Each structure stands twice: as C-alpha cells, then as structure tokens.
C-alpha cells in the first residue's frame, strides 16, 4: 500500500496522490510544467515538517525524532522521484531547464536540514544515549546511520564553515547537472549516417537492421546510423571492415563531453575536483576519497589502491599478450598498421573466431531480448519464488515502458516493476535501476501496511525494425541481468525504515546483488531454455555453449585495463588535497596518471574524464568506481556457495541469499550481512580467478 498525500491547491494533485493503476502516478495527467509548482510547495512544506521536529518541546525519542524524520516530506519525495526518473529516461527542454534550476535549490534545501543545529542536537542526544534506548538492531542501525549522515553533512561545523560547505554543495549540484546534460546532448546529436553497401562492409544483418531503425528515427529513411549507444557503437567497432569509419565513430564516442563552449565538461571537472577537496578538508578529512570511503567496506583509499593495483599489473600483462595476437592477425591480413583503439574490438573478434571457432554473430541469433527478459524473470522465480504479471494497458512515461506486477508465492503483490528497454534521444545513455517508491514496513497514520516498492530498470538497446525481433549481444544480456539484479534488491527489500530500504547500502556492497545475478545468465539450464534461434526456434546447440564456455575468459586483459584505468583515475582525482587541486588541468592530470600506469596505447579508459558520468554527474560513484571490482570479489565467492551446494538454484542457499543480501537493505553492516550469508569474507584472489588473471 502506498502513502497518500494531500496536494496544495496550486499543484497538480496527481503528483502528490498517485491514482493510476497499481499505485502508480497517472502519467497522462501530469504535464512537465506541473513540476515547478509542485516543488515550490514541497520544499517549504518539508522544511516546516523538519523544523517542527527540531522544535518539539518534548524530550527526544526515537519515535518523535528518527521515525518522524523517516516519514517527513512525503510531497517532496513523490515529486522528486517522478521528476528525477523523467529527467533521466525521457527528458526535454522543459525538464532540463527545471533540472538546472532545481539542482542548487535542492542542495540548499538539503543543507538547511542537515545543518539544523536543534535537529541534530536531538539526534545526537539519542545517539550518545543509544545503549539505554532498548532499540532493536535495525532501529539501532537507523539511528547510527542518521547520526553519521548529519555529521558528514556538516552538522558539527560552526556557522561560517556551514555557510561555506552549503555554498560548495550548491555549486557542485549545478556542475553535476550541467555535466550530465552536456554528455546527453553530445550523444543525442551525433549520428554517422551511412548509405552504401561499401559503408556496411562486414556488418551482420542484426546490426544493419538496428542502424536502419536508428536512422529512420532521426529522419534518414533508407539509410543507416551509427549512434553512440553502446548497443550500436560497440558492435559497429567489432564488425565493420571499414577502418576509416571505425576511427571516425570511435573518436566521436570517446570525445563525448569535450564539445566547444558551454558543452565542454573539462573545466567543470576541474572545478568539481577542487570543490570536493575543499569540502573534505572542511569536514576534517585528508581528501575527498577519505571522506567517501569512511563508511564503506573498503574503508580507506589505500585499501582500494591495493586491490586496483593488483588487478592492474595482472590485466596490463595479459593485455600485452592480447595485443601481440592482434598484431599478428593484422599482419596476416596484409596490413602494416599498429593496433589502434578503434582496431581492438574488430581484431579481437577475429582472434576469438580463430582460436575458439566462435564469433558474436554466431551467438546473437539465439539472444532475443524477449527471451532474455523471460530468462531473468524465470531465474528470479526459481530462486525467490516470485512471479511477474504484465499489465499491457497501464501507461507510464513513454509507450515503450512495460509495467509488471510482482507477486510472491501466495499471489500477494510485493512490488511493481517498470522496464524501459530501448534507446532514444530523450534518454541518457547506459543502463540503471531506480525507484519511484521505496519499500518500508512502518505503520503510520497514512499507512497501515507499509509501502510497496515501485522499481525501474532503464536500458538503451537498439530497436529492430517493426515486425523483427530485437537481438542483443551477450554483453547486452549481461547488462539486462545486472540491472535486474539491482531491481531485485529493491523489489525484495523487507525492512522497517525507508532510509535503509533496498539499495540504500554502502557503495561497494550495492553492486553485489547485480553482479551476482549475472552468473545465472550462463547457467546451462537457463541458456538451454531461453537461448533459442529467432528464426528456427532451435535451442542453442551444446557445441556453441561449449565454445562460449571455453572463450569465457578471452580478452579479459583488455576489459580489466579499460575498467581499472578508469577506477585509478577516479581515485587519483579524489585523493588530491585542496592545494593540489587548485588550478588543476583535468586532462593533463588524467594523462599524467595514465602515463604513470604505462597505459597501453591501444586501449583507452572505459570512461574518459569528460564523460565519466558515474563520477562527475553527481557524487554517487565519485571515489567509488572501484566498487564494481570490490563487489566482484564478493560475487565471485558468493556464487561459489551454489556450486558447493551442487545446484545453481539450491533452495536453502537461495533463502539465505534473499534474507541477508537481497532483502536486508542497509539494516546490517555489509560485512556482517555477507558473513551471515556465506559464513566468511572472500579472498581477493577469487576475482583474479574469476577473470582468469591468476
């Protein structure tokens, strides 16, 4: 059941009180221009509610302070959730203009609450007396996290430092929004239009179909568009025999965020790094990396660097071996050029075909998007006993969005799942999970049964022409399973308090449920059931599965150099002191770090600094991109539990996984949660073994 709010008279009531099917907003009744009035009402209302908590004359209790904060600001929460998801998945000029206006306003609003001294005094009183409050472990965890959050937001600073921190946060919010919008604009506006058979040399039918659909969407009927969506650009770089076109497309892809004038993200990065360093110093930390890692599993930048540098040495050595293989094939093909970044995918695919008699074009006819969605749902059902019922008549923010009711084994709705799979110019690139509504089990005046989660998956797969199946690559299928793992983390959440619901866990634990779920994609019984040929309906042959398994660790040097270089640059930027970050040249600094690593010339960072949205479109993954690797150590060990049980769907292991990983949210310390599931912490070597780099 979802909470209801009464709307102020001058705002669209649908933003406050969702009246659509399944407890969703009725998107047809919401106009983009409605949000400004909603925020104009919601921001002061939220401040008034929190000030009332601060001014409460009664002695602070967990109920009148912590729970009161947990349930405050319902209108702002609802408006923010709808707006944020529209801004990412289906934006336009109206939403982007408001996004630029709101970013600093929301930052000021957050600072006003988190720096409210009387409010923090109440929380601090409870925290200092926590041993005498007789709280259960979950409530104790919520109190501890609330106290930490206020302290790290400047609640203990004097008035002058609070004002400085608030100004820094406000500017950082503006910089992050501008950075994100610049990348989206570059991705939206670029298309390499191809026309002739010569232009299409080497491209498989599935890619030609996708490029044709992309061109028609952009008004180029009968032509073919190479866009910067990974579902098009990566297979184009893999299969195109036109080296000149590969170079053109690749250079556009890696130059996102480097546009001229207002679209140039490089000065934004420099200012962001400087301000983050200043923020950390104000709060008493040696660097922004120390600030961000303080409450993670990794704890310190030194621990992160140890992991990354161990991987870097192994990955770089392997990539050198891989480059030699590519050079040999280039020479064998009658060419005399070195391996360039726009050559790597193309020739590595040829090496894979030569070595394993395997290529992506052979696999892709068996990977229909619809079947892979079924595979993810089937896996969740076998592991956790949940089912998905599609509601075709329910409208969301775009006609492509699919709406599912999620039911437990008894047929009770436990979540709503919305999936938006296809690329379009109004959507930022990449793939992600988000929420319109978080799960909780609080009983309040508005809610007698808590709140059902409403979870989103957003992808950017290339559409096929009308009437043709959408075929995806193996990497695309892994992305689908990855993001669905995040979605399950939100949908299976079973906690009391909103602030620790679902994915509200430390950054280097949040990727465990997603990366772990990827393992089930390649479980033989999953592929044998759902990987069926789109024309013949035949199951993927065992011989092809054997070849895929044999090639599973192929090109891992390249993949880990791409990733690890990005993570090391992220850490280097955020390990700077304010003095070191003063007047920094972001691209020169990136080049200096890569030179120190002896970065291979033929490989580039997976995310170059000007379009490193994980790190610079907000601070979610800043000093935290390493977390994919940290969680990789966990997921490699976690799936081993099922192997030890002798069954990838062992019910006892799955029940522990659900209880301690997918359902516990932030109610437990992540190390304790993992040990409760697995009985021990993993060895770092587990990741090297998984990647074949031992």
Residues serving a catalytic function are 483
DSSP class of residue 604? -
- CA dist 478 and 649 (Å) reads 18
Return phi, psi of residue 116, to 5°: -75, 105
Q: Centre a 10 Å sphere on the Cβ of residue 118 and count the other Cβ atoms it contains.
A: 11
- Its sign, for the CA torsion 674, 680, 686, 690, is negative
Using CA atoms, how far apart are residues 637 and 688, in angstroms rounded to an integer?
Answer: 11
Mode of pairing for the β-strands spanning 454-461 and 413-422: parallel
Cα–Cα distance measured from residue 570 to residue 273, given in angstroms and rounded to the nearest whole number: 10
SS3 state at 662? helix
Nearest residue to 322 via CA among 340, 342, 344: 344
Are 242 and 201 contacting, i.e. CB atoms less than 8 angstroms apart? yes
User: What are the tokens at 657?
Assistant: 């996984």
Residue the block writes with tokens 């640059």: 569
**Which residues make Cβ contacts (< 8 Å) with residue 319, sequence separation at least 6?**
557, 558, 560, 561, 600, 603
Handedness of CA 246, 249, 253, 254 (dihedral sign): positive
Encoding tokens for residue 683? 């060895």
Q: What phi, psi does 437 have (nearest 5°)?
A: -155, 130
Residue 72's closest CA among 51, 52, 50, 40? 50
Within 10 Å of residue 519's Cβ, how many Cβ atoms? Answer: 22
**Which class for 135: exposed (0-12), middle (13-18), buried (19 or more C-beta within 10 A)?**
middle
Non-local CB neighbours of 202 within 8 Å, separated by 6+ positions: 239, 240, 241, 242
Q: Rounded to an integer, what distance in angstroms lies between the CA atom of residue 256 and that of residue 187?
A: 7
């Amino acid at each position: 059941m979802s909470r209801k709010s009464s709307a102020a008279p001058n705002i669209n009531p649908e933003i406050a009180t969702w009246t659509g099917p399944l407890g969703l907003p009725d998107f047809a009744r919401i106009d983009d221009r409605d949000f400004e009035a909603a925020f104009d009402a919601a921001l002061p209302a939220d401040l008034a509610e929190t000030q009332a908590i601060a001014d409460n004359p009664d002695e602070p209790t967990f109920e009148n302070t912590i729970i009161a904060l947990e349930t405050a600001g319902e209108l702002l929460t609802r408006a923010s959730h709808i707006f944020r998801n529209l801004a990412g998945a289906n934006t336009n000029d109206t939403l982007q203009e408001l996004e630029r206006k709101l970013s600093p306003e929301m930052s000021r609003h957050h600072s006003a609450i988190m720096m409210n001294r009387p409010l923090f005094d109440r929380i601090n009183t409870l925290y200092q007396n926590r041993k005498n409050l007789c709280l259960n472990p979950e409530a104790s965890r919520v109190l501890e996290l609330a106290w930490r959050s206020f302290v790290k937001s400047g609640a203990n600073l004097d008035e002058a430092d609070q004002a400085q921190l608030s100004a820094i946060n406000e500017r950082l919010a503006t910089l992050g929004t501008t950075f994100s919008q610049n990348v989206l604009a570059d991705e939206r506006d670029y298309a390499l239009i191809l026309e002739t058979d010569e232009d299409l040399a080497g491209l498989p039918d599935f890619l030609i179909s996708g490029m044709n659909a992309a061109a028609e969407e952009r008004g180029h009927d009968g032509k073919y568009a190479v866009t910067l969506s990974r579902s098009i650009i990566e297979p184009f770089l893999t299969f195109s025999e036109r080296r000149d076109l590969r170079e053109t497309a690749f250079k556009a892809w890696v130059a996102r965020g480097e546009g001229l004038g207002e679209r140039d993200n490089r000065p934004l990065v420099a200012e962001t790094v400087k301000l983050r360093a200043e923020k950390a110093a104000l709060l008493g930390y040696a660097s922004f990396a120390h600030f961000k890692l303080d409450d993670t599993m990794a704890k310190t930048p030194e621990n992160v660097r140890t992991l990354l540098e161990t991987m870097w040495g192994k990955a770089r050595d392997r990539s050198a071996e891989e480059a030699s293989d590519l050079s040999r094939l280039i020479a064998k093909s009658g060419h005399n050029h070195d391996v360039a970044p726009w050559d790597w995918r193309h020739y590595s695919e040829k090496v894979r075909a030569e070595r394993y008699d395997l290529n992506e074009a052979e696999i892709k006819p068996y990977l229909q998007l619809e079947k892979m969605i079924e595979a993810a749902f089937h896996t969740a059902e076998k592991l956790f006993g949940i089912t998905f019922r599609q509601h075709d008549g329910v409208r969301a923010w775009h006609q492509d969005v699919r709406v599912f009711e999620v039911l437990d084994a008894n047929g009770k709705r436990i979540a709503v799942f919305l999936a938006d799979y296809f690329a379009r110019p109004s959507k930022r690139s990449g793939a992600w999970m988000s929420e319109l509504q978080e799960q909780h089990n609080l009983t309040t005046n508005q809610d007698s049964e808590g709140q059902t989660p409403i979870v989103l998956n957003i992808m950017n797969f290339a559409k096929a022409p009308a009437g043709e199946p959408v075929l995806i690559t193996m990497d695309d299928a892994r992305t689908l399973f990855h993001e669905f793992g995040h979605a399950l983390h939100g949908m299976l959440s079973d906690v009391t308090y909103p602030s620790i619901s679902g994915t509200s866990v430390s950054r280097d634990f949040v990727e465990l449920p997603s990366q772990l779920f990827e393992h089930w994609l390649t479980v033989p019984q999953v592929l044998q059931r759902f990987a069926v040929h789109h024309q013949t309906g035949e199951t993927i042959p065992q011989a092809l599965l054997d070849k895929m398994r044999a090639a599973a660790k192929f090109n891992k040097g390249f993949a880990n150099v791409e990733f690890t270089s990005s993570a090391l640059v992220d850490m280097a930027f955020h390990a700077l002191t304010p003095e070191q970050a003063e007047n920094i040249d972001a691209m020169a600094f990136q080049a200096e770090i890569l030179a120190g690593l002896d970065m291979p010339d033929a490989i580039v960072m997976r995310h170059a600094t000007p379009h490193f949205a994980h790190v610079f479109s907000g601070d979610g993954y800043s000093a935290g991109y390493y977390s994919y690797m940290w969680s990789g150590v966990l997921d490699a060990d976690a799936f081993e539990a099922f192997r030890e049980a002798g069954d990838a769907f062992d019910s006892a292991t799955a029940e522990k996984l659900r209880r301690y990983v997918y359902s516990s949210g932030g109610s437990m310390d992540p190390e304790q949660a993992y040990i409760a599931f697995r009985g021990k912490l993993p060895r770092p070597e587990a990741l090297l073994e998984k990647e074949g780099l031992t």
